[in-house]
Structure 1
Amino acid sequence: MPPRNAARLYPLVLLLLAFVAFPLYWMASTSLKPQTEVFRVPPTFVPETWTLRHYVELFWLTDFGLLFVNSLKVCLVSTGLALVVGSLGAYALARFRVRGKEAYGRLVLLAYMFPGALLVIPLLLLFRQLGLTNSHLGLSLAYLTFAVPFVMWVMRDFFASVPVDLEEAALIDGASRLGALWDVVLPQAVPGLIATGIFAFLFAWNEYLFALILISDESLRTLPPGMMRFVSTTDTNWGLIMAASTLATLPMALAFGLIQRYLVTGLGAGGVKG
């Protein structure tokens, strides 16, 4: 694109950035305002009085720390399982000659056509029989219903873009099929693994319905349903809610910033074929 045409896009990019970033700025700035300034009319876009009171109350008067740890535990387990299961399935679809694998690969995406409300009741009945209700393991397995199809769909095309000659050379040298996958294919697929892992983690981090239905013990609650306790019918501490939302958003914002290069590379490479 010529420099002159690219320069014309800068105002549009800045406008889009301001549109996307303003809610995040408003959330963070509100968390730093005293309660009286939060409800001021007209509102103040920059806090006149800066305070960390909401963050102090968040850790001293609520169980936000426990909710954060619970969410982190569930997200790490579900993301790890999704990457393992989804990568193995994607590798099989990309390398093995199986009748109807193309149709099956497309059918995998049908999982995204079903809303979570349609799946939560069957999962609840199944997990009750297996003794997995009210546990972080059961919640992590429930998240696989959406994370695994996404990982399989993206990683299948990514594995297909890795030259077969590299695997054949490893097999000739005596490596097993799993050994060739681990030593040859996966190192080439690191950007794709990071990209799909981030999106699987983000889904589990923000998911509300499954966490509300499958977890009833307050000590096992994750962030989305746990933060709803900060809202009541008589009083809502918006400063406290904004502080909790800011801290809940911060890990994902840092993750996206640190691995942005791998994220763009992985999604771009995974979309070459198919």
Structure 2
Amino acid sequence: MSYRRKQIVIAYALLLPAIIYFTIFFFGPIAVELWASFYSGQPMVGESSFIGLGNYTRALSDALVHRSLSATMIYSFGSTILTICFALLFAAVLAGPTKGNNTVRAILFFPYIVSFVIGGLMWRAILDPFTGILNAALISLNLPTQSWLADPDAAIWVLVFVSSWKDIGYATLIYIAAIQGIPGHLYDAARVDGARPTDQMRDITLPLLMPTTLFLAVTLGISSLQELALPYLMTGGGPANSTRLYSLHVYETAFQDLNLGYSSALSFLMFLFILLVTFLQFRLLHRDIRHV
């Protein structure tokens, strides 16, 4: 056996545990889900019958699916954009050696290490219209109280805020590391040319942060498109299905309605949708990276 062939055999031997893991726990379930999506009822665990593309046809014409997908898009784009914008702002301030930066960074990062369950229950208690401390503060200021989670127009934006509150610290630290990795001589040359701080941010910092922005947009976007805990804990999908995100709809279809075939079709459609969104993000943002 040649040296080159030995290298290939050793490489695949080292990769074999990971290949087996992903085959069993990632590609395997996707294949089973795709198979189950062609059946009605409860394939694998109960009575079912083959219906072909019937579940997909039903999903594409289901008004509740359209409503949940619309709410998910608002939640995903809103939370991702809000998180990235505020993280970039905080990182620009905290990237320098200013006194107290480490303390502020720790405070910003703390919500990220709190589980979504704890965070969701905490914010539900804070926003409670009768016992919540936020409405108590409004009363003390002689301002009208608000039903934060009972208003169909406001509830989805409350979830966007809570999601951003949790992820801003993580995104800020990623941006700080990226900013600190930008060569200092670029800023020195810009100052010699008379560039103001805003000019340096526009012409140096933001273009060189595009790879980091792409990474955060993809990871945060995928995470938010699959979000289940927040709507389940804070609103239960209400009011009037305004916060019934797609993952919550899939969950209730599978485990409350016990329609595993239809929920499998919904899950596979979301899998394809996430692939499409990720592809578009790479196309749009990677184009800007190539020009940096």
Q: How far has the Cα of 1:165 moved from its partner?
A: 2.0
Tell me what 1:218 maps to.
Answer: 240
Tell me what 2:258 maps to.
Answer: 236
**Partner Cα distance (1:58, 1:258) in 2:** 23
Q: How far has the Cα of 1:238 moved from its partner?
A: 0.9
The answer (yes or no) to whether the contact 1:35–1:239 under 8 Å persists in 2 is yes
Aligned residues: 255
1:181 to 197, 201, 206: 201
**Partner Cα distance (2:92, 2:277) in 1:** 26
**Partner Cα distance (2:36, 2:29) in 1:** 10
Q: How far has the Cα of 1:61 moved from its partner?
A: 4.2
**Partner Cα distance (2:117, 2:42) in 1:** 39
The answer (yes or no) to whether the contact 1:120–1:210 under 8 Å persists in 2 is no
2:31 to 25, 28, 44: 25
Structure 2 letter corresponding to 1:159: I
Structure 1 letter corresponding to 2:265: A
Tell me what 2:116 maps to.
Answer: 116
The answer (yes or no) to whether the contact 1:111–1:145 under 8 Å persists in 2 is yes
**Partner Cα distance (1:252, 1:142) in 2:** 22
Structure 2 letter corresponding to 1:21: F
- Where in structure 2 are the equivalents of 1:1-274 lying within 5 Å? 2-19=7-24, 20-32=26-38, 34-35=39-40, 38-39=43-44, 51-94=52-95, 96-118=96-118, 119-125=122-128, 129=145, 132-133=148-149, 134=151, 135=154, 136-212=156-232, 213-214=234-235, 216-220=238-242, 221-231=244-254, 235-256=257-278
Q: How far has the Cα of 1:37 moved from its partner?
A: 8.3
Change (3 A) 1:262 1:123: farther
**Partner Cα distance (1:231, 1:152) in 2:** 37
The answer (yes or no) to whether the contact 1:27–1:246 under 8 Å persists in 2 is yes
**Partner Cα distance (2:41, 2:239) in 1:** 35
**What is the CA RMSD across the aligned residues, in angstroms?**
3.2
TM-score (norm 2): 0.74
Change (3 A) 1:91 1:3: farther
The answer (yes or no) to whether the contact 1:78–1:140 under 8 Å persists in 2 is yes
The answer (yes or no) to whether the contact 1:195–1:262 under 8 Å persists in 2 is no
The answer (yes or no) to whether the contact 1:150–1:196 under 8 Å persists in 2 is no
Q: Name whichever of 194-203 and 127-136 sits farther off.
A: 127-136
Q: How far has the Cα of 1:185 moved from its partner?
A: 1.0
**Other structure's SS at 1:35 match:** strand
Change (3 A) 1:262 1:110: farther
**Partner Cα distance (2:211, 2:172) in 1:** 15
**Partner Cα distance (1:35, 1:260) in 2:** 36
**Partner Cα distance (2:225, 2:41) in 1:** 31
Change (3 A) 1:99 1:122: farther
Change (3 A) 1:22 1:216: same
Sequence identity (%): 16
Q: How far has the Cα of 1:164 moved from its partner?
A: 2.0
**Partner Cα distance (2:9, 2:107) in 1:** 45
